[in-house]
Structure 1
Amino acid sequence: MDRRGLLIGGSALALASAGTVAWHRSTGSMADYDRYATALRAPLDTSPSLPGLIRYATLAANGHNTQPWCFVLQERTIRLYPDESRRTPVVDPDDHHLYVSLGCAMENLAIAARAIGQPGEVAIDDGDAIAFRFGDGPTAADPLFAAIPRRQSTRSVYDGRPIPPADLTALEQAAAEPGVRLILLTDRHRISQMRDLVLAGNNAQWDDQAFMTELQHWIRFNPRDAMRYGDGLFAAASGSPNLPAALGAPAFSLVTTARGERDRYARQMVSTPAVAVFVGDTADRAHWMKVGRACQRLMLTATARGLKHAFVNQPVEVTALRPFLAALIGEPDKRPDLVLRLGYGPTLPYAPRRPVETVVAAG
């Protein structure tokens, strides 16, 4: 190669290298993110503190991963209140998902406390808070404790294998909660009907510009932003490429379409061997928190038995579809609360979480 060619080639390589460095600086690396996620899910130490329990509580499921909770530490009591600054008023105008999220987090806390020898009781104090009151008692070994840091919502195609009857029975038993009913769908006809409701809900939400704006606000397009914010829907957890924030939002608007999302959900539902639907006796905040507790136990049981899960709540979130969902599950006079798909699938990147000190308030 002559000198001119060498110089041109070297300049191009330098520019490409500079561009690669700039790209990685703006997106961060998955290696760094994996270390971050591993630290968030580190096992509790032998002398766990209240912050350690709260860290385990925050690993619970919650809508859009907004983590809409505020823990208040008092003598022998941890109270959990909603953080209204983290509401999602378009998809969740009556705060249903928010209060379900509080129930999920409190169930994690209660399981962890019992497992490390700090048992207590969960109580719904009023319509706005749920509390854990420490008591006396022996350590209670619970296989769900080990599942807490491994649980994740796996939004991918599953492999279609049927779930053994013994595991379905274990899921039903785990979800038992006064005032809450679980309906498990395993026959293909009813799962196909559920698929149609999910797709109809997807269409309605993608036609709603306010919904799309709210959704995009909570998407974290790269590891750097996921770690910096500590919340939101990490794009890599759904199989999307890492993009700088400045490119992620335009790319989302241009590339992600209602038809593409509909096809993706259709494939996911076809691969799903079971769907779980939760219904509370009453459509109020107390029952929504109970639904959250029951659902968290089901998800942890699924995790402990090698199952994956993901929410497909479109038929709950789109008001016009709720009566059709209620009829499908044989509860025509109830408001359905949650819909989850269950099956066998891959482990994806874990969701981010905020530092414990940002979710705790003085008592």
Structure 2
Amino acid sequence: MPTRRALITAAPLLVAGCSRCASPYDEAVRSLWRLPDLSGGGFPAMALIGAATLAANGHNTQPWRFKVEPRVIEILPDPTRRTPVVDPDNHHLFVSLGCALETLLQAGLGYGWAGEPAVLSGGGVRVVFSSVPARPDALFQAIPHRASTRTPYDGTPVDAATLRRLEAAVGQSVGLRLVLDGDARAKLSDMIVAGNDAQLADPAFMRELVAWIRFDAGEALARRDGLFTAASGNLAAPRWLGQRLLPLVMTRRSEADRLRRVVASSPGLAIFTGPAETPEAWIAVGRAFTRFALTATAEGLKLAFMNQPVEDLSTRRRLAAWLGEPAKRPDLVVRFGRGPDLPRSLRRPSRDLLVS
């Protein structure tokens, strides 16, 4: 799901012309990743939608559209932005929708609008808002700072009080398993590598992944979606060169070494398991993850998805058995810890996502 691709951090790519496009890209990031100060009255629909688009989402496909009515916003799935190889049953799409929904709701509270969501029959969500006292709390403030940080972390343990706050943020309807012990993290690392090996061996997966990579800032700025290499800790190259270099640097051995290294640097991982295998349950998983992520961000932590073992079917069954819940589907795997700031990804303009 929501947000990645960890694979593209395999090795630095060659810098090519990045100095000419970095400044416009940085300006676009500064304009995007912020919460606007509102002046005047009225329902701030576009500010809320802008915040929602900052939510985590798989491959940064941004698979959503928005419909606005008086004091109502609907978030609708966009099937044209599916990733059918990595997400054949639309699991990640609906988790991403849940991430956007929870971000919308947290932004609403910060601006003084409480939202009441209801899942629609087609898998979208209709949110009716009412005016309340503004509550710009830590989760609201964390919205423009949340990111997927795919580099190694510094290994500093997370204190028990922070872990309790992370657990409390998830709520009761979605299961959370924190993996903190070194031996347990090593076993989970084995499953991450196994899932990754299966994906690397699938030519269709690799074609889909490469289609969503944005190899340089110019391409990322023009498309405003996908997986910008610099946002994963890599340098940039033009697409013609990046596509040729990728198979040379992304080998099973190099990827396995890298994955084990980043997991070892992370003091904890979190596994999310929803109540059912339905779009409504997957939306709930996205909401729970977003509360977890915003809480972690407010605490100064970084996060990154490690979803390979939930995307490969055989590894997912192995993971479910390891969790002691073989009948349930693990939905997300996330590592967390303290790490560096990286360049941010972009989003498409909010007005381009509106439907009548």
Normalising by structure 2, report the TM-score.
0.92
Structure 2 match to 1:88:
83
1:49 to 1:135, Cα distance in 2 relative to 1, 3 A: closer
Computing the radius of gyration over CA atoms, which structure comes out larger, 1 or 2? 1
Alignment equivalent of 2:248, drawn from 236, 254, 262: 254
Distance 1:218 1:137 in 2: 40
Distance 2:219 2:172 in 1: 38
Aligned partners of 2:18 and 2:236 also within 8 Å: no
1:131 and 2:126 matched: yes
SS in 1 for 2:270: strand
1:241 to 1:112, Cα distance in 2 relative to 1, 3 A: same
Structure 2 match to 1:39:
31
Distance 1:356 1:61 in 2: 15
Aligned partners of 1:81 and 1:129 also within 8 Å: yes
Q: CA deviation at 1:55?
A: 0.9
Q: CA deviation at 1:28?
A: 4.2
Alignment equivalent of 1:176, drawn from 171, 179, 200: 171
Which range moved further: 329-338 or 153-162? 329-338
What are the superposed Cα offsets for residues 62-81 of structure 1, whole Å, 9 maximum, x if unpaired? Answer: 00000000111123211111
Matches within 5 A, 1:153-168: 153-168=148-163
The one-letter amino acid of 2:142's match is A
Structure 2 match to 1:354:
348
Structure 1 match to 2:65:
70
The one-letter amino acid of 1:144's match is L
Number of equivalenced pairs: 339
1:236 and 2:230 matched: yes
Which range moved further: 168-177 or 27-36? 27-36
Distance 2:203 2:20 in 1: 30
Q: CA deviation at 1:119?
A: 1.6
Q: CA deviation at 1:127?
A: 4.8
Over aligned residue pairs, what C-alpha RMSD do you find?
Answer: 1.5
Aligned partners of 1:278 and 1:295 also within 8 Å: yes
Distance 1:114 1:267 in 2: 39
Moved over 3 A (4+): 23-28
Q: CA deviation at 1:132?
A: 1.4
Structure 2 match to 1:218:
212
Distance 1:32 1:67 in 2: 21
Distance 2:211 2:35 in 1: 32
The one-letter amino acid of 1:192's match is A
1:28 to 1:122, Cα distance in 2 relative to 1, 3 A: farther
Distance 1:25 1:154 in 2: 24
1:122 and 2:117 matched: yes
Which range moved further: 248-257 or 315-324? 248-257
Q: CA deviation at 1:26?
A: 7.8
Structure 1 match to 2:193:
199
Aligned partners of 1:104 and 1:293 also within 8 Å: yes
Q: CA deviation at 1:224?
A: 0.7
The one-letter amino acid of 2:120's match is D
Which range moved further: 247-256 or 337-346? 247-256
* Structure 1 spans left out of the alignment, 5+ residues: 1-22
The one-letter amino acid of 1:327's match is A
Alignment equivalent of 1:52, drawn from 47, 50, 56: 47
Distance 1:24 1:215 in 2: 21
Structure 1 match to 2:96:
101
The one-letter amino acid of 1:34's match is D
Aligned partners of 1:126 and 1:286 also within 8 Å: no
Q: CA deviation at 1:254?
A: 2.7
Aligned partners of 2:67 and 2:75 also within 8 Å: yes
Which range moved further: 325-334 or 353-362? 325-334
Q: CA deviation at 1:357?
A: 1.5
* Structure 2 spans left out of the alignment, 5+ residues: 1-14
Aligned partners of 2:189 and 2:260 also within 8 Å: yes
Aligned partners of 2:18 and 2:217 also within 8 Å: no
